C-alpha cells in the first residue's frame, strides 16, 4: 500500500507554480524525509496530502487510494503544521480536552501518559512551555488520534539541538510502538540520517529524488582527485562537481551498488547530507524509482 500517491500533481498560486508534474508513490511502513529549499513545494505537497488544499492539476490519494480530506482519510491521517496550532492561553490539560472533543478517535490515556513521561504539567499554560515542549504537545495530540499516517511540516525547524534530539527520539519510539508511517519535511539535513529510511527531494517545484535511503546511498560515491578534465567510464554519472584549489570533488551515481568508483580517484561512501546537497545544487539531476531515471551530467567532467 502507498500512504501517499500522486500523478501529475500540480498546484498554482496565481501565476506561480508551487508544485508541478509531481508523480510519486510513497510505500507504507517508512519514515520519509521530504527535503528541499524554501519554495520547493514541500508544504504545498503535505497540505494537499492532509486534505487542506486542493490540486490545480493531477491527483493525490492517501492510505491506499483515499481522497485527502474525506472522512476515512481524516480518521487515518494526523497532520501537524509548521506553526504548531495550539491555544497558547490554555493549560495543557484543557488543550488535550479540546483536541479530544474535536476528534472521533482519541486515546486520552496515551495523551496524559505521554505528558507525564515528558514531565509536562497539565496545569501549565501552553505559552509557558518551551519550544521543545510545545512540539511534544503537538506530537502527543497527533499520536493520540491513533493515525496510520503522520504528516509533520518542519517539526524540527524552531527547536534547539537538544529539543530536536528529544523530539526525534519520541517520534521513533512512536513509530516502533504503533507501526505508523511518517512523512516529515525538514531543513535540518544533518538530523535525517538517524531518523529517515526513505528520502524525497523537491527542488524548484519538481520531484528530484525518491527512494529508500540505503538503496540511494549504495549507488552514490564521493570522488576526490586533481582538478582538470578527467574522463569517467559509462558506469559513473556525475551528479554535482565542485572545485577546491587543486582538487575536484564529485558526487557520482554508480551503475550498481558496491561499485568502488573509477581508478585514479579517491572514492568514499556518500553520506545522506552529501547526496541531498549534491542534488539540490544541481536541479537538473534526478534519481527516481523505476526506469525513469534521468541522466545527471555526462561521462566527462571539467572541475
Give domain limits for the chain. Answer: 2-213, 219-302
Lowest mean pLDDT among 37-41, 205-209, 272-276, 298-302: 298-302
Q: Which CATH class is domain 2-213?
A: alpha beta
Q: CA nearest 251: which of 228, 227, 217?
A: 217
Indicate whether 288 pLDDT > 80: yes
Asked if pLDDT for residue 297 goes beyond 70, the answer is no
Q: For helices 131-144 and 161-178, what crossing angle results, to 10°?
A: 10
pLDDT-derived band of residue 63, with 50, 70 and 90 as boundaries? very high
Residue 33 to residue 44: CA distance in whole angstroms: 15
pLDDT of residue 153: 93
pLDDT number for residue 118: 93
Give this prediction's pTM: 0.89
Q: What is the pLDDT of residues 244-286, one digit of tens each?
A: 777 888 999 998 888 887 777 889 999 999 999 999 999 889 8
Q: Which three cell numbers stand for residue 301?
A: 567532467
User: Would you say 223 and 283 are in contact if contact means Cβ atoms under 8 Å apart?
Assistant: no
Instruction: Give the mean pLDDT of 203-223.
Output: 94
Amino acid at each position: 500500500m502507498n500512504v501517499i500517491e500522486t500523478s501529475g500533481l500540480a498546484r498554482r498560486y496565481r501565476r506561480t507554480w508551487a508544485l508541478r508534474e509531481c508523480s510519486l508513490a510513497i510505500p507504507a511502513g517508512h519514515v520519509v524525509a521530504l527535503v528541499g529549499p524554501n519554495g520547493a513545494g514541500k508544504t504545498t505537497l503535505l497540505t494537499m496530502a492532509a486534505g487542506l488544499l486542493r490540486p490545480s492539476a493531477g491527483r493525490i490519494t492517501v492510505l491506499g487510494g483515499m481522497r485527502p480530506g474525506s472522512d476515512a482519510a481524516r480518521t487515518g491521517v494526523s497532520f501537524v503544521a509548521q506553526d504548531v496550532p495550539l491555544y497558547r492561553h490554555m493549560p495543557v490539560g484543557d488543550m488535550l480536552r479540546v483536541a479530544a472533543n474535536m476528534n472521533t478517535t482519541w486515546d486520552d490515556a496515551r495523551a496524559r501518559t505521554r505528558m507525564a513521561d515528558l514531565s509536562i504539567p497539565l496545569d501549565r499554560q501552553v505559552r509557558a512551555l518551551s519550544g521543545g515542549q510545545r512540539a511534544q504537545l503537538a506530537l502527543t495530540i497527533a499520536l493520540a488520534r491513533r493515525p496510520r499516517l503522520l504528516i509533520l511540516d518542519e517539526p524540527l525547524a524552531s527547536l534547539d539541538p537538544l529539543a530536536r534530539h528529544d523530539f526525534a527520539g519520541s517520534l521513533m519510539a512512536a513509530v516502533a510502538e504503533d507501526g505508523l508511517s511518517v512523512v516529515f519535511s525538514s531543513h535540518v539535513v544533518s538530523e535525517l540520517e538517524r531518523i529517515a529510511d526513505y528520502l524525497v527531494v523537491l527542488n524548484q517545484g519538481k520531484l528530484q529524488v525518491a527512494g529508500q535511503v540505503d538503496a540511494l546511498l549504495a549507488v552514490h560515491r564521493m570522488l576526490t582527485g586533481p582538478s582538470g578534465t578527467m574522463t569517467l567510464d559509462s558506469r559513473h554519472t556525475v551528479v554535482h562537481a565542485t572545485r577546491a584549489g587543486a582538487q575536484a570533488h564529485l558526487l557520482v551515481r554508480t551503475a550498481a551498488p558496491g561499485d568502488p568508483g573509477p581508478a585514479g580517484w579517491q572514492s568514499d561512501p556518500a553520506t545522506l547530507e552529501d547526496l541531498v546537497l549534491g542534488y539540490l545544487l544541481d536541479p537538473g539531476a534526478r534519481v527516481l524509482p523505476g526506469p525513469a531515471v534521468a541522466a545527471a551530467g555526462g561521462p566527462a567532467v571539467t572541475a
